[in-house]
Structure 1
Amino acid sequence: MSNTSTPRPSRHDLSTALWRKSSYSGGANDCVEIAEIRTWVAIRDSKNSGQEALLFRRNTVSAFTTAITTSHR
């Protein structure tokens, strides 16, 4: 299924996004945070949360994480 019709999130969407850190970070500020916004995933540096986030389509992030987890089995 293609997500080409879903518009890219605006800065407002990111400012109100629910950001979460990996449970592996142990609460430290040396990891990445992600937020899911419609069919997009935003990724930012937890140490520099004011900087612009990287945006990827959800299916791209899913393929990436699947490739990582299956290659380490």
Structure 2
Amino acid sequence: MAIDYLLLKAEELELAIQTASGDARRELHQKLHHTLENIHFNGWRVPAHLHKLDLALTDEEIEDSFNNMPV
């Protein structure tokens, strides 16, 4: 895959994530994460802002999983 295509796809997902919530947001995050893995796998550098977004969304999902745990 061409880097331009992957970066464009990642940026489109980034925009969609900004307005999404719940399951849709988690699904978009998974697509973003997969796209970023493809960028890295092909030897290209993942832009820092997309890497930070991926980490923030991962943290968000981890925190959400603890909110659903019975006490």
TM category (shorter chain) comes to 0.3 to 0.5
Q: Which has the higher strand share?
A: 1
Q: What's the TM-score, normalizing by structure 2? A: 0.34
Q: Which has the higher helix share?
A: 2
Higher relative contact order (CA 8 A, sep 6+): 2
